[in-house]
A = this chain, B = another copy of it.
């Protein structure tokens, strides 16, 4: 017998297994942020993502929001409906294509956005504190690559690009 091992014969250690590790850190991120938004503003992650995109881009259709923030269209639909119910967004039918509607932050929504953004940035700041710029650059580059490959390995949602 050979002592050489095919990569596939290596042992598996879950705590070193990259997909597992990424899932865990993503879970922590989501949970920590959800705690910030939830306790102070009473909104969840999907609602936060909608607000963030509208705050950045001003006016979007639900379809756009879903594509930009990687959310299933039903999740977007429900988040927008919830924000509408709370008066944080407005919906205006596109008269050139009456299937879709332009969603935008209301005045109250803009005030909320202005409150959340500093908290979000401070949260991020505290999280990456002490990590060198060089290391962060490498980390973010690898992360972008893994995300792009992951998107394909995962197989897209119906609504995402084919």
A residues with CB within 8 A of B: 7-15, 17-33, 35, 45, 49, 52-53, 55-56, 68-70, 117-118, 120-128, 131, 135-136, 138-139, 141-143, 145-147, 149-151, 153-155
Contacts and interface: CB of A to CB of B under 8 A. Distances in A.
A68 to B, nearest CB: 7
The number of times this chain is found in the oligomer is 2
A126 B126 CA distance: 33
Nearest to A7: B125
A146 B28 CA distance: 9
Given A8-B121, A138-B139, A70 B24 contact: yes
Nearest to A147: B25
Contacts of A127: 18-19, 146, 149-150, 153
